[in-house]
Homo-oligomer: A and B are copies of this chain.
Amino acid sequence: MSHNSFGHLFRFTTWGESHGPALGCVVDGCPAGLGLTEADIQPWLDKRRPGQSRHVTQRREPDQVRILSGVFEDDRTDGQVTTGAPISLMIENVDQRSKDYSDIRDTWRPGHADYTYDAKYGVRDYRGGGRSSARETAARVAAGAIARKVLGDSIQIRAALVQVGPRKINRDNWNWDAVHDNDFFCPDAETAELWASDMDAIRKAGSSVGGLIELVVSGVPAGWGAPVYGKLDADLASAMMSINAAKAVEIGAGMDAAALRGEDAADEMELGPDGQPQFRSNHNGGVLGGISTGQDLVIRLAIKPTSSIRIERQTLTKALAPTTVSTKGRHDPCVAIRGVPVAEAMAALVLADHKLRDAALKA
C-alpha cells in the first residue's frame, strides 16, 4: 500500500503539511557506502525553492534540509556515507502566514482538493492546502537527490518547460544550457522572453496558466523495468501523475502515437559506430515492453493551471450554501515552472528503484 510511500526497493515516505512545523521524508532501501551530506541535496531544493522570481509564489522559504539519520562519518571512510539505514530528511516551514487562509476554511475552492478531502476524511487542514499543497514536493526533491546518488553520474536526468499556456517553444532553438538562464527552465531563450510577458499579463489579471514539462533521461542501460505490471513506463506514468496538478503523461510519441502507422512507429535498429545496437528513431521513448532500450527516456507531463486565482469563481460552502471564492494568498501563477525539478526528482526515484530491482534479478 502506498498512501504516502513510493517505490519498492528504493522507497520513500513523505510527511508534512503546508503550514505545519516541518515536512520531510524517510528514504528506505538506499545502498550503503554512498557519499551523502546536506550539500548533495540542497542544490536540488534550491532549484525548486519558492520566491526566486516574480513568476512564482512569493512565499519565502529557505528550504534548508537536515539529515537526521542513515549517514555516518568515520575516519575510515572518505567523508560521510550512507549506512543502509533509513535516511530521515527534515525541512522546517518558516514563512507560513496561516491567517491568509482562514476565509477559505468553510468554502470549497474550485479545482482544489478541498471538497474531496472533506468527502474522504471529514476533516481538513485548510491552511495552505494542508497535505494537498505542492509544498509536499520539496520532500520529493530531497529524496530525488539521494536517488541521483544511487544512479551515479552515468545517468543524466534533465527536464525543461516546453509550453506555457498555449505558447510552445521553438524546438529548433532547444539548448539545454539555456534552461538555467531564465526563470522558466526553458530550453529556448527566445520563447522564455515571450513567456515572461505572458506571465506578467496573467499575474496582473489575477489568473494562472498551465504548462508542459519534458523530461529526457540519458544513460539508462537496456534492461531496466519489467513486464507486465512492473513496467518502467507504467511506474513513470504513476510517478508523474502523482505530481500535483498533473493531468497527462506521454512516453515517446505519446498522444501522437495514435495517428502513426506501424512502419513509422517501430524504431528500426542498426549497428552503431561502437559496434553496439542503436536505433534510428525513438518513437517509443526509450521503452519497449516496459523495459528500457538504452535510448533516451522521453517523458512529457501536462500541468494544469493552479486553481488559486484572484478571479472570483462560483462554489459552495461546506454547509452547501452557494458563494464565490477568490484566493488572495501567495501562489504560483504557473505551477508547471517549479514542477520541473519535481519531475526530475520523480524520474530519479523511479529509476533508482528499478536499478535495484534489476540488480536483484541478477542475484
Contact = CB atoms under 8 A, between A and B. Distances in A.
**Contact size range, A:** 35 or more
B3 A226 contact: yes
B266 A316 contact: no
Nearest to A111: B266
A14 to B, nearest CB: 6
Interface string A188-226: 000000000000001000011111100000000111111
A172 interface: no
Contacts of A293: 115-116, 119
A358 B120 contact: yes
Contacts of A178: none
A39 interface: no
Q: How many copies, total?
A: 4
A234 B242 contact: yes
Contact of A254 (B8, B242, B248, B314): B248
Given A14-B86, A88-B16, A238-B237, A210 B271 contact: no
Given A68-B20, A283-B304, A230 B14 contact: no
A320 B275 contact: yes
B303 A258 contact: yes
Contact of A26 (B13, B236, B336): B13
Interface in A259-296: 259-271, 275-277, 280, 283-285, 287-294
A17 to B, nearest CB: 6
A33 B121 contact: yes
A68 B303 CA distance: 30
Given A68-B21, A230-B2, A254-B248, A223 B29 contact: no
A24 B72 CA distance: 18
Contacts of A224: 120
Nearest to A164: B258
Contact of A85 (B85, B122, B131, B284): B131
Contact of A249 (B207, B241, B284, B336): B241
B361 A32 contact: yes
Contacts of A117: 84, 289, 291
Contacts of A1: 1, 8-9, 11, 28-29, 230, 357
A277 B165 contact: no
Nearest to A211: B258
Contact of A265 (B270, B277, B307, B356): B307
B112 A306 contact: no
Interface string A56-95: 0000000000001110101001000101111110000000
Contact of A125 (B85, B256, B322): B85
Nearest to A24: B88
Given A112-B288, A207-B262, 7 more contacts: A1-B11, A1-B28, A32-B123, A74-B123, A115-B288, A119-B222, A163-B259
5 contacts: A20-B68, A31-B363, A210-B258, A261-B305, A355-B363
Instruction: Kindly list the 6 A-B residue pairs having the minimum CB-CB distance in the complex, ordered from nearest.
Output: A113-B289, A111-B266, A208-B262, A359-B363, A116-B291, A238-B238
